[in-house]
Structure 1
């Protein structure tokens, strides 16, 4: 047979074979319920693509851009201590070119106020704050040719703690106000035992925690002379643990997990809300933060933790914005949540 005569036969053979294959595929997919697209969707490359499309651009530390190289001084609020301990160490391991060095203020305790002051004076490049920038601080910065920008990176709550031997169901804002302004001096006045109240606090000028308490709870009234001033939360917790009638307030992550004190529910009105996840645990089990109540506003004493950035188009601005962006990345927000704060993203 010649090549010319073989061509029609070859074409006919291919058509018959294609028809048989196509019919088999149709029967298999329609009768068996198998979906060929599952093969593509389950492939590693397709899975990675789908996962990447479902996530934000900041999936890891390395995705953050415009991170300067060098050593950058920072400092500020003591409420940031858990972040400095765990989150910042992970950040620097992932981005070793961006090195952070904590600076204590000279002649005063660390606080939001001291951190912002050092930023304005050029002693640090980045400030950590647990309160908004005040008008006076913004004015001082503008007089020096720059402004201050707040970038929130987490939500924090204030927790009230008492000596663990004290048995009270909780305190209202009115009762807390009475205690810290000197109108209530005995625990029997708020449903407790016949025991003098010993209130502790950091200095009113120390920063965000005290300022928030004075503004929201005390309605900007001053502390009574009976309030014992302590320099740090560590000192306050030590005294609170050894003072049967003691009471203190501080950042929730610093108070709620402690074994030597007892966090209590508080109420702005009639409903008490705990800063910890119910039920109250006893040591050695540590209490966990009631993050859901902080996030949805049910818990009545919350605030933002913010990076304060010097807006001067210089090295300080680049460092501050890079630090904030790194803390807003997915792994940092996970680490912030593990440190006891509520993620902002």
Structure 2
């Protein structure tokens, strides 16, 4: 009888836990770099809290932050930090944008596996993206034109590249712009003449990662600051997170959530 009583109590506790956020909804928008982490985390979280409705979509860091400032998302995913003008606009609207870093990343130049180029200097990368270096033979590759692929300007990855590689210069108009990290990967995997850049978690065997100034992008080089294009990945919420939003944030920062970060190819806290 005692075991039966304990089982009933346990069932009641589990029932209360699963219904703690019953009927509540969380909306998440923003960075396509952060998207794989969030999708996996949400999937695991909803197994623990099946009564919560969570909607996740990409669109880029800038669009996610805009949605937070417009009040159309609970969580904004961002692969860059908020700009001063965005912080000022949030203040004007009475929004306290709270930054929560959930992972780290390295932005990695990628080429097609058929391309023999394995290392480029930061200056060479800048020259390629300015449109000043136009043939692979100029950087030790084959005699073939360089097809430059870049993220669009709403992307936090684009802004990281612009800040750390372009140094204020603009990506030249002839670059082919892609709207997501996945689209970048696919474009390079199909074109032997292409170069692009992507988050570390997206790099797989369909492309070849290029070293920058002799240093490969990795968890170790990003954390030690020996890799030039490292960055944090963060989410933004309005004020202090509460309810299911708080529970989801705590889950992502937990050992289980950080294991998901690693499994998706990014760098845990």
TM range (shorter): 0.7 to 0.9
Determine the structure 2 residue equivalent to 1:283: none
Of structures 1 and 2, the one scoring higher in RCO (CA 8 A, sep 6+) is: 2
Paired residues of 2:33 and 2:181 also in contact (CA < 8 A):
no
The residue that corresponds to 1:118 in the other structure is 67
Give yes or no for contact 1:125–1:319 (8 Å, CA) kept in 2. Answer: no
Match of 2:5 in 1: none
Question: 2:258 maps to what in 1?
Answer: 333
Q: Deviations over 1:260-302 (max 9, x none)?
A: 22111112xxxx1223xxxxxxxxxxxxxx3222222222211
Give 1:150 shift. Answer: 0.6
Q: TM-score, normalised by structure 2?
A: 0.86
Of the two, which has the highest radius of gyration? 1
Per the TM alignment, residue 127 of structure 1 is displaced from its structure 2 partner at its CA by 0.9
Cα pair 1:200 1:236 within 8 Å, conserved:
yes
1:68 deviation in Å? 5.3
* Conserved? CA contact 1:74–1:100, under 8 Å: yes
Cα distance change on mapping 1:129 and 1:318 into 2, 3 Å: farther
* Structure 2: stretches of 5+ with no match in the other structure: 1-19
Corresponding residue number in structure 2 for 1:274:
216
For 2:15, the equivalent position in structure 1 comes to: none
- Tell me the number of residue pairs that the alignment of Structure 1 and Structure 2 aligns: 250
The match for 1:262 is 208
The answer to whether the aligner puts 1:74 opposite 2:28 as a matched pair is yes
Q: List per-residue Cα deviations over 1:96-130 (Å, max 9, x = no partner).
A: 354321246xxxxx011101111111111111111
TM-score between both structures, scaled by the size of structure 1? 0.68
- Report SS of the residue matched to 1:334: helix
Correspondence 1:295 to 2:209: no
How far is the alpha carbon of 1:226 from its aligned partner? 2.2
Unaligned residue ranges in structure 1 (runs of 5+): 1-66, 105-109, 276-289
* Cα RMSD, aligned residues only: 2.0
Stretch of structure 1 that moved more, 180-189 or 86-95:
86-95
